[in-house]
Structure 1
């Protein structure tokens, strides 16, 4: 297996989990790719939403990559304060570079360049969905530090887990704890540049308003009882996709809360972190991706 760290723009790192392409003597196999964006409120990278996801999809036959995009704080060195360079949509530009990097190395890594998927969780899903809805948006393409055709940075499809698709509305925030309110202020700072964004600034980050007929096929799952990210935004996103005739699949669980990742034993801290029903999202997502037609 090829495990290495590839530096991308502005300190971002792409971690690789690439299988030996030789399946038997002189027999080689091309595999689809999965680029994973962990969540963490745009402030850290949630551990359970990185490598454990990669290992799970590796077993399903994907060559996997974890994108360590720029975040607002440093888990290992919290004393360094807020990272002012972590300003959205930089993270989406970094994901675009990751997609292009995988495609440019497709022959070397035995990857099917027509099947480069992305998977994101919470804030990481906001990164993925930005690219999944705006891969051909000149406002993003013109900010890339390299030349690329839109098709080169377009993911084949995306998997979104309890996604942050819009900033939470004030009514939802009223139910939040004080710690969650403090965290939300920092999320707002990363996404909009201010801890108290205007309605127009919130709309600019609202991906439910960005859905068009060009939005890539999407598998989305969320839970009704999520206290951190409002599941209503997920419902609006899917409704917008349906209105545009886009390929999508949506699973709204009645229980799951937030940040469960796999919801299985691989990354569970205790038995309470596992949920057999929730863990089914992996098999459901794999079935969905398998049926995506090649371009």
Structure 2
């Protein structure tokens, strides 16, 4: 391993309460923005390896994991965007498992089941996932007091294509794509990015993620706009990144160009790299006893 510094009320519909007491709520109070009526059925399936994949999301939700009684509450929160190439959501090991680990450490966590870009269900599929991410941080920030969260300690996490969504929110928060009558800040206070898709540039991007988000023949303007290493400014939030050097699905160059851009602007950032581990390992890289999560806790504690 190498280290470089480099539940609810107010009109919100409760969808269901999980066996562990966590609550899932609809992301939007009313109509889902940028949506078209289409008979798409949401499905969830778990394979022999225990990987749960969700598809066909038309009604996005948040599942809240709050620190249990007796656990010291840090006041911090993380909204989690599972990966899946913008075609599925690997919502178990890149969502709920991570949320439980965060809550155990006194950090409120919210698993975002976001809409996947699809022309049949969206007027503009390029912005659909980002709208859901903006709405998630808006909702958590506006209701932070109810959940024991500090309004200025709310971060975004993302895995793979979910890392692209998290870094997109981190660099495209200023232009609200949702109704925001209270003028609530949509800027995350920090980001956690695991083997993230950062760039849409040919030779660096994950082809499936780019095609699903931007289409099979995207124009140069869209490619650059959603290449988040090109959108970093001095106001981009601090980031903690994790990537394996042997990742053949999403090249480690994605994490490298993002942290380089952050450093150029003097933003606090850290990149944990592993020689092996491939792609999609979630909390546990089985090639090493080292736990990136422990390093993240130390980094987060210093913000």
Interval of TM-score (by shorter of Structure 1 and Structure 2): 0.7 to 0.9
Query: Among residues 95, 102, 110, which one is paired with 1:57 in the alignment?
Result: 102
Map of 2:49 onto structure 1:
none
Structure 2 unaligned runs (5+)?
A: 1-19, 33-58
What CA distance in whole angstroms lies between the structure 1 residues aligned with 2:62 and 2:198? 23
For normalisation by structure 1, the TM-score amounts to: 0.78
| 1:23-76 alpha-carbon deviations (Å, 9 max, x no partner) | 39xxx9563111111001111111310111111111111111100010147xxx
Query: Among residues 271, 280, 294, which one is paired with 2:291 in the alignment?
Result: 280
Map of 1:154 onto structure 2:
187
SS of the counterpart of 2:261? helix
What CA distance in whole angstroms lies between the structure 2 residues aligned with 1:89 and 1:220? 24
Cα 1:105–1:2, aligned 2, differ >3 Å: closer, same or farther?
A: farther
Map of 1:97 onto structure 2:
135
1:190 aligns with 2:212: yes
Map of 1:33 onto structure 2:
77
Contact 2:262-2:268 at 8 Å conserved across structures = yes
Contact 2:86-2:161 at 8 Å conserved across structures = yes
Structure 1 unaligned runs (5+)?
A: 74-81, 174-179, 265-273
Aligned pairs, number: 253
What CA distance in whole angstroms lies between the structure 2 residues aligned with 1:69 and 1:161? 18
For normalisation by structure 2, the TM-score amounts to: 0.76
Contact 2:80-2:95 at 8 Å conserved across structures = yes
Map of 2:226 onto structure 1:
205
Query: Among residues 216, 233, 236, which one is paired with 2:237 in the alignment?
Result: 216
What CA distance in whole angstroms lies between the structure 1 residues aligned with 2:87 and 2:182? 29
Cα 1:250–1:147, aligned 2, differ >3 Å: closer, same or farther?
A: same
Compute the RMSD of aligned alpha carbons. Answer: 2.4
What aligned pairs does 1:105-144 form with structure 2 within 5 A after superposition? 105-136=143-174, 140-141=175-176, 143-144=177-178
Contact 1:8-1:98 at 8 Å conserved across structures = yes
What CA distance in whole angstroms lies between the structure 1 residues aligned with 2:255 and 2:131? 23
Map of 1:289 onto structure 2:
300
What CA distance in whole angstroms lies between the structure 2 residues aligned with 1:100 and 1:224? 35
What CA distance in whole angstroms lies between the structure 2 residues aligned with 1:191 and 1:54? 26
SS of the counterpart of 1:235? helix
